[in-house]
Amino acid sequence: MANVALERYRTKRRFEKTPEPAPRRRRSTSGQLFVVQKHRARQLHYDFRLEAGGVLKSWSVPKGPSLDPAVKRFAVAVEDHPVDYAGFEGIIPEGEYGGGTVMVWDRGTYRPVDGTDVAAALRKDQLTFTLQGRKLKGGWTLLRLRGRHWLLIKRRDRYASTRDIAVSAPTSMLTGRTLAQIAADEGGDVAKAASGDPPKSARRR
């Protein structure tokens, strides 16, 4: 079957140059994977991804998720990614698309409320869901402004907080590494990666 859903992912990348996963459609064990990847490319951003229909629907969130329901975070819809991308932490070579350091910042499962059909909800410009991650939990909403522009908003529940989780929990949920440590271990640009890590004095651990 032609993999139309991942065609944009494929055409943006040179797979002989980048260690990113090949563009194949598949389902995870749960079928409801979510992942947030912290990505120090040209700009630091957080890639927020939800599994649906054998791919990861993806948004680039410049400031990352906020636990504060009063803070609406701007999110730009980007190309679908393969489900295997949820395991990718490492270096995209400089000069390639998205060149820089990628961290698996949080990962777990999600559940649309009331068994919503995720693809249908996204077509209707609003998806409400709960996250069961290490850092992100409870209710969230994705709301389309127009075109590729969305908002990511925490819902009011016991997991809501004014704590800045990007600062208090900055490291990889897979390996515990900072961006700088990932770059150092894997041959990336350490100084560039380090600029995406909060100052040590601000961290909880």
Of 168, 131, 132, 120, nearest to 153 by C-alpha is 131
Q: Which residue is nearest to Mn ion (CB)?
A: 39
d(CA 171, CA 177): 5
Q: Which residues of this chain interact with Mn ion, rule CB under 5 A?
A: 39, 47
Tell me how far, at minimum, the Cβ of 62 lies from Mn ion, in Å.
10
Q: Which strand (E) or helix (H) includes residue 119?
A: helix 118-123
Closest to Mn ion by CB, 60 or 139: 60
Q: How far is CA 70 from CA 128, 133, 156, in A?
A: 16, 21, 9
Closest to Mn ion by CB, 47 or 80: 47
Closest to Mn ion by CB, 39 or 154: 39
Q: In this structure, are residues 169 and 135 in contact, taking their beta carbons and an 8 Å threshold?
A: yes
DSSP code at position 68: -
Q: In this structure, are residues 168 and 161 in contact, taking their beta carbons and an 8 Å threshold?
A: no
Tell me how far, at minimum, the Cβ of 114 lies from Mn ion, in Å.
31
Closest to Mn ion by CB, 101 or 139: 101
Closest to Mn ion by CB, 68 or 186: 186
Torsions phi, psi for 121 (to 5 deg): -65, -40
Three-class SS of 144-163 = EEECCEEEEEECCCCCCCCC
Closest to Mn ion by CB, 99 or 112: 99
Tell me how far, at minimum, the Cβ of 92 lies from Mn ion, in Å.
9
Q: In this structure, are residues 185 and 172 in contact, taking their beta carbons and an 8 Å threshold?
A: no
Tokens representing 47 are 């890639």
Amino acid found at 180? A
